[in-house]
């Protein structure tokens, strides 16, 4: 018996968890359960993270966590427990298989079978945000080499182990050449290690449009956190199955499994919710544990239930469904069919028990040379020429002002009079003759900028790594 942690969550959570556990028990899943309380009750008890220290200990001890949806109370101060759990436990890969079950679940896309592998820990979800001036707020987009290597490797390993043919990377590297550029570069490096799997790259905007219209063209998709969050909901919605999809959050030590939907407060307590999302989350968990036989048994019984047109209210259709059932009745219908296989929908068979190998990341260091600094200044004048000419006087012997941009667009020494300027100026000072400078010279410059009456709100050092520029040029530079 394998002990796992469960949390019944909020809203419809307890109803769908009870139904899921009933199916797991009837199928003979070799599991024992240790229950923890998380979510609304814990938040409102004054714990702004929605989880107690003891519950963290339980999750970390058992390593496998089956979680029903929770309600994050509205208003300030409450942190998303999902985001905290993913990041605290290093659950770096969010895997969401999305499939259509036409004609038993209504969708325009009859042959869709996509797996979205979303990076789960970084990107804009690092949540590092600051207000810097009267007018400007900033959110840092952090993309790291270990993060990219781990998720790209996971996507190709997933494809290989699950007999998938192609991995497509979605990014916006035509605009974000440093951050998304790194994601794509690492994707290419990892793809070269898997010559048996086709790989390609698409720009996220057209890729999302194509995914929404031609989902059958995609197999495995790997992408950064925010893009993955958005496209996985689009994919689930067009498959007609937001209430049906499960998701895994995979880490090196711990993993968490859940439904993709929320706590559905509008139908909580009515006992009509569809338990399929959490049940499919539990199937993913069993597969992760190598329990392919029980997982197949449950998944085939579930497909047969759909095929027999026994449907909960969310997918029930007058005329095509045969019976409308509530949560428990649906679970009972799945249990009755344990051991049976669907005849129209593809039964699940021969799923590989091979475990997915994680990347062993090795840190490399590079030759780093400081060649200048971007000083960000809060200044409410609107005339860029006046601003730049005045700031140039703050240049020191070592660092000279060469460029000012506003919202990334060059406005000094020459810009367009049409460009709107906020009170947030990025001012690029570089060393004379590309000489390598020290942090002390940056400090001297900042002192001079202050003495000339400017309000420096932050700096970014301009480095070369192994002789390659490590920063973007200004638009128009
Ligand atoms: P939701 O997914 O809870 O509900 C959206 C709609 O889908 C509702 O009409 C609901 O009735 C329906 N629905 C969802 N699951 C269903 C099911 N299993 N069967 C039948 N119908 C179902 O999204 P929401 O209303 O935006 O969010 C409600 C709460 O859930 C919020 O507090 C949100 O923060 C939280 N949430 C939690 C998670 C999670 O724990 N993983 C994920 C998303 C949202």
* Domain coordinates in residue numbering, the chain: 2-336, 368-469
Determine whether the shortest distance from the Cβ of 70 to ligand 1 is under 6 A. yes
In testing the pocket of ligand 1, which one of 12, 40, 263 has its CB within 8 Å of the most ligand atoms? 263
Ligand 1 contact via 258 beta carbon (within 6 Å): yes
Longest dimension (CA), the chain: 82
Fold of 368-469: Alpha-Beta Plaits (3.30.70)
Encode 47-75: b = buried (16+ Cβ within 10 Å), e = exposed.
eebbbeeebbebbeebbbbbbbbbbbeee
Q: How far is the CA of 260 from the centre of ligand 1 (A)?
A: 8
Average model confidence (pLDDT) across the chain = 94
Output the CA 264–ligand 1 centroid distance in Å.
4
pLDDT tier for residue 360 given thresholds of 50, 70 and 90: confident
pTM across the whole model: 0.94
pLDDT in tens, 213-258: 999 999 999 999 999 999 999 999 999 867 899 999 999 999 999 9
Shortest-distance Cα residue to atom 44 of ligand 1: 262
**Model confidence band, residue 75 (pLDDT cutoffs 50, 70, 90):** low
Alpha helices in 102-242 (DSSP H): 145-161, 179-191, 204-213, 225-238
CA–centroid distance, 267 to ligand 1, in Å, is: 10
Q: Which atom of ligand 1 is nearest to the CA of 74?
A: 32
Residue 75 CB less than 6 A away from ligand 1: no
**Residues above pLDDT 90, as percent of the chain:** 86
CATH, domain range 2-336: 3.40.718.10
**Amino acid 76: pLDDT:** 65
Q: Give yes or no for residue 104 having a pLDDT over 80.
A: yes
Q: What is the pLDDT of residue 44?
A: 86
267 ligand 1 Cβ < 6 A? yes
71 pocket-lining for ligand 1 (C-beta < 6 Å)? yes
366: confidence class by pLDDT, cuts 50, 70, 90:
very high
Ligand 1: residue whose CA is nearest its atom 23:
262
């Amino acid at each position: 018996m394998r002990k796992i942690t469960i949390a019944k969550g909020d809203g419809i959570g307890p109803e769908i968890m009870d139904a899921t556990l009933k199916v797991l028990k009837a199928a003979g899943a070799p599991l024992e359960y240790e229950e923890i309380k998380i979510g609304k009750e814990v938040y409102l008890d004054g714990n702004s993270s929605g989880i107690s220290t003891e519950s963290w200990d339980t999750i970390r001890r058992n390593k496998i966590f089956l979680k029903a949806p929770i309600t994050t109370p509205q208003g300030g101060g409450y942190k998303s427990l999902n985001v905290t759990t993913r990041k605290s436990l290093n659950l770096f890969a969010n895997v969401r298989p999305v499939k259509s079950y036409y004609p038993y679940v209504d969708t325009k896309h009859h042959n869709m079978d996509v797996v979205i592998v979303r990076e789960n820990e970084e990107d804009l979800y690092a949540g590092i945000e600051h207000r810097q001036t009267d007018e400007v707020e900033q959110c840092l987009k952090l993309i790291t080499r270990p993060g990219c290597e781990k998720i790209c490797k996971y996507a190709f390993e997933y494809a290989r182990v699950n007999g998938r043919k192609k991995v497509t990377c979605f990014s916006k590297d035509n605009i974000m050449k440093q951050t998304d550029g790194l994601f794509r570069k690492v994707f290419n490096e990892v793809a070269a290690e898997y010559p048996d799997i086709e790989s390609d790259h698409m720009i996220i905007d057209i890729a999302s449009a194509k995914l929404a219209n031609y989902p059958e063209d995609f197999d495995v998709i790997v992408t950064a956190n925010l893009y993955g969050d958005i496209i996985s909901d689009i994919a689930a919605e067009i498959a007609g199955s937001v209430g049906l999809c499960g998701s895994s959050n995979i880490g090196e030590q711990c993993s968490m499994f859940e439904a993709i939907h929320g706590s559905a407060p509008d139908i909580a307590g009515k006992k009509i919710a569809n338990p399929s999302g959490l049940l499919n989350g539990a199937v993913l968990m069993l597969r992760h544990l190598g329990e392919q036989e029980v997982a197949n048994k449950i998944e085939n019984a579930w497909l047969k239930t759909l095929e027999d047109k026994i449907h909960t209210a969310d997918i029930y259709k007058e005329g095509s469904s045969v019976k409308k059932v509530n949560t428990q009745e649906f679970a009972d219908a799945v249990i009755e069919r344990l051991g049976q296989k669907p005849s129209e929908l593809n039964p699940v068979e021969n799923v590989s028990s091979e475990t997915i190998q994680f990347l062993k990341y090795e840190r490399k260091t590079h030759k780093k040379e400081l060649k200048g600094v971007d000083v960000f200044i809060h200044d409410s004048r609107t005339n860029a020429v006046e601003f730049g000419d005045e700031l140039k006087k703050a240049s020191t012997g070592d660092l000279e002002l060469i460029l000012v941009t506003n919202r990334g667009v060059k406005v000094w020494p020459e810009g367009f009079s049409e460009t709107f300027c906020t009170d947030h100026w990025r001012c690029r000072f570089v060393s004379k003759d590309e000489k390598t400078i020290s942090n002390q010279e940056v400090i001297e410059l900042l002192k001079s900028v202050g003495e000339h009456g400017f309000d420096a709100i932050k700096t970014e050092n301009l480095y070369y790594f192994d002789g390659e520029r490590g920063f973007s040029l200004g638009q128009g530079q």
